[in-house]
A = this chain, B = another copy of it.
Amino acid sequence: MDTIKTIAIVGGTGALGGGLAMACARAGLRVYLGSRDPERASAAARQIADATGATVSGADNLSCAAEGDLVAVTVPFASQFEILRQIAGKVEGRIVLDTTVPLVPPKVARVQLPAEGSAANRALAALGSGVRLVTGFHSVSAQKLSKGEKIEGDVLLFSDDVEAREKVVGLANMIGLRGIHAGPLANSVAGEAMTSVLIGINKRYGVREGAGIVVTGIAHDA
């Protein structure tokens, strides 16, 4: 199976988007950055290209979504539905990685699931079933991704399309994380809800670098 060689990141000038872009560029992927503001995307792209030597370009979200073996969406929960509706026509039949966590400020350490049951279900409603939707990267530290620091936590990945999920597991592994097949989209709620739990743990236990989760018992060569 072909690995992912090019990635488009819609919302690529946000914290997680920027971190993911840096990590992918560092791993040698061709990166397309998208933003509502194409000039901001181009500036961020130049910065990442300078830092990594990779080919990175910036554009508006819609143009960005037309590119890439994979389209990652890293936007705030409040913008998720609208932006996914915008790009739906561009991503038909393609692999989309939605990283949205349903955080509702100010109580972001409290699980507050949307009426659809999960951000994954909302993504499915916005994109339609013709898209190869994968969700995950919910609790990955943007800061560590960006800096290229060793990340202990696992990346749980959810999809009803096992082959698409396998590609995203491969991408996670390629950028130095451990991707894990965590089941169908119906299971995405576990990864989404756990993110609020981890935010609360960061505060309560004073975890500065951001708590993550590791799944125990999986052989290292799995």
Residues of chain A whose beta carbon lies under 8 Å from any beta carbon of chain B: 109-113, 117, 152-153, 156, 180-184, 186-187, 189-191, 193-194, 196-198, 200-202, 204-207, 209-219, 222
Contact = CB atoms under 8 A, between A and B. Distances in A.
A196 B190 contact: yes
A200 B187 contact: yes
Given A197-B182, A213-B214, A205 B219 contact: yes
B217 A207 contact: yes
A156 B197 contact: yes
A201 B182 contact: yes
Contacts of A200: 181-183, 187
Nearest to A198: B215
B153 A189 contact: no
Nearest to A189: B193
A207 B218 CA distance: 6
Contact of A189 (B113, B182, B184, B198): B113
9 contacts: A109-B183, A181-B204, A187-B197, A190-B196, A201-B215, A205-B218, A207-B218, A209-B217, A213-B214
A130 to B, nearest CB: 22
Given A110-B187, A190-B193, A211-B218, 20 more contacts: A111-B186, A152-B217, A180-B201, A182-B197, A182-B200, A187-B197, A190-B190, A190-B196, A190-B197, A194-B194, A201-B217, A205-B219, A206-B222, A207-B218, A209-B217, A211-B215, A211-B217, A212-B216, A213-B214, A213-B216
Contact of A211 (B117, B153, B209, B216): B216
B205 A222 contact: yes
B201 A181 contact: yes
A150 to B, nearest CB: 11
Contact of A111 (B110, B190, B204): B190
Nearest to A207: B217
Nearest to A196: B187
A191 B160 CA distance: 22
